[in-house]
Homo-oligomer: A and B are copies of this chain.
Amino acid sequence: MRSKGFEGMACSIAAVMGAIGDRWGMLIMRDLLLGIRRYDDLRQSSGVTNATLSDRLKLLEENGLVERRRYQTRPERFEYQPTGRGRDLGLLMQAMVQIGDQWNLSNLEGPPLDFIDRRTGQGVKLITVNRETSGPVERDHLGVRPGRGADALMTWRLSRGSERPESSAVRSGQSQGADYPAVRDDHSSARSP
C-alpha cells in the first residue's frame, strides 16, 4: 500500500515536505512570501546557484506552490509568485521563525526577522487554541489521535508511541513519554446527548 517515496505516505507532514522538496525550496518560498518576485533577486537573497534555483522553481511550480507570470514581452521576462497553496506555507515560516528565535542558533543580538501586526507594530506569535471555543490550550494538554484518513501505519505509529518500554531508563526516570501522547479514538465519549 505504501510507497517508499514521500508521495504515498498518509501523513500531512510528509506531504508538505514532499511538496517543498528541500531546504532550498523552503528558502525560495520564504523569499516569495516576503514579496520577492524576480529571478535575480531570488538568487541574491537565497545565495543558491542558478542550477539549483531554476530546478527548485520548476519543482515548486509543478507542485502548485509557485506561479510564473510573464510581465514583459520583447524581451520576455517572468516573475514568480506564490499560489494560494504556496501562501499557506506562511504558517510554516512563522513557526520556523518562532522556534529559531527561541533557539537563538545563530548567536545573534536578537531575531533577524519579526512578524508583527501592521496596524499596531506590535509583535505576534503562534499559539494553540481549541478549534471550537478558540480558548488557548497549553502545550502539556496536547495529544494526538488517528484521523479519518489514518492508514494502518499511522495507527500503529501512534499506539507504539504511547507504549512505554519496560527499561531501566524509564524506571530511573531518565526516559520521558511521548510529547504528544496518543488518545484512543473513542468517539462514544465525545458524543453529544
Q: Is the interface of A mostly helix, strand, loop or mixed?
A: mixed
Per the CB 8 Å criterion, the residue count for chain A at the interface is: 125
Q: Are B105 and A34 in contact (CB under 8 A)?
A: no
Copies held by the complex: 2
CB under 8 Å from chain B, chain A span 46-68: 47
Flag A84-109 by CB within 8 Å of B: 1 or 0 each: 01011111111111111111011011
Complex contacts, A82 vs chain B, CB 8 Å: 179
Given contacts A116-B144, A116-B145, A118-B143, contact A106 B10 (CB under 8 A): yes
Closest to A131 in B: B123
CB neighbours of A139 from chain B (8 A) = 90
Q: How far is the CB of A111 from chain B (nearest CB, A)?
A: 4
